[in-house]
Structure 1
Amino acid sequence: MPVFRVMLRMRIKPGMEREFERAWLQIGDSVTSHPANIGQWLSRSAEEDGVYYIVSDWVDEPRFREFETSDRHLNHRKKLHPYRSDGSMVTMHVVAHLPGVASPESHEDWEAAR
């Protein structure tokens, strides 16, 4: 299945990181409830303080672009904007996916057996 992926890089104002994480979780369904959204992930950089990445997958680019200009998206952005000091967006087409065998549970089992 072709997937259109969007990756946002956001720098959050110092001291507002936990509030940003809570806000993102509270309003995330405004994205994930869209019929063209496959899912989204929030990640905190392991290398840069205050930097987060939001990755969202969509069924195709036209449906994402439709969402991007919707009132739903504008309201979502307004709620996160107070936490941001800057940000950027990259879009891409997923061309291949190779699933791994690991899961958090299997890794815990492997660690326990060592």
Structure 2
Amino acid sequence: MILEAVMLQVKPGMEKEYESAFIEASTIISSMKGYISHELQRCLEVKGKYLLIVNWETLEDHTVGFRQSKEYLEWKKRLHHFYDPFPVVEHFEMVNLNN
């Protein structure tokens, strides 16, 4: 499993609108091949800051299957205009701590 983590900064005053748009857009990402789950966390200290976490079966399910799809174009249309600055997407894998 691959964890996609994205720190998002939403433009001031657009937080409620963003959260509503995100809920609607969630149906897009959750329908994609390799999608496992996602959550959006609101920062308590910094207004307009969010953490998006998405679990994918493989890295390619996100970077190719989703990011190169027509569904991603709709995702962008619904959400990307809220961000300033534009977020950096990072991917993580579990570290096996059981030698």
User: What's the TM-score once normalised by structure 1's chain length?
Assistant: 0.76
Partner of 1:82: 81
CA distance in 2, matches of 1:37, 1:4: 10
Aligned alpha-carbon RMSD (Å): 1.3
The yes-or-no answer on 1:93 pairing with 2:76 is no
Displacement of 1:94 after TM fit? 2.4
CA distance in 1, matches of 2:63, 2:8: 20
Q: Tell me which stretches of 4 or more aligned residues in structure 1 moved more than 6 Å.
A: none
Displacement of 1:89 after TM fit? 1.3
Map 1:27-66 → 2, pairs under 5 A = 27-66=25-64
Greater Cα offset, 12-21 or 76-85? 76-85
Paired residue total: 94
Q: Structure 2 unaligned runs (5+)?
A: none
Q: Structure 1 unaligned runs (5+)?
A: 97-114
1:82-101 Cα deviation digits (max 9, x unpaired)? 211122211111236xxxxx
Displacement of 1:27 after TM fit? 1.2
Displacement of 1:17 after TM fit? 0.1
Q: Which protein has the larger Cα radius of gyration, Structure 1 or Structure 2? A: 1
CA distance in 1, matches of 2:62, 2:44: 28
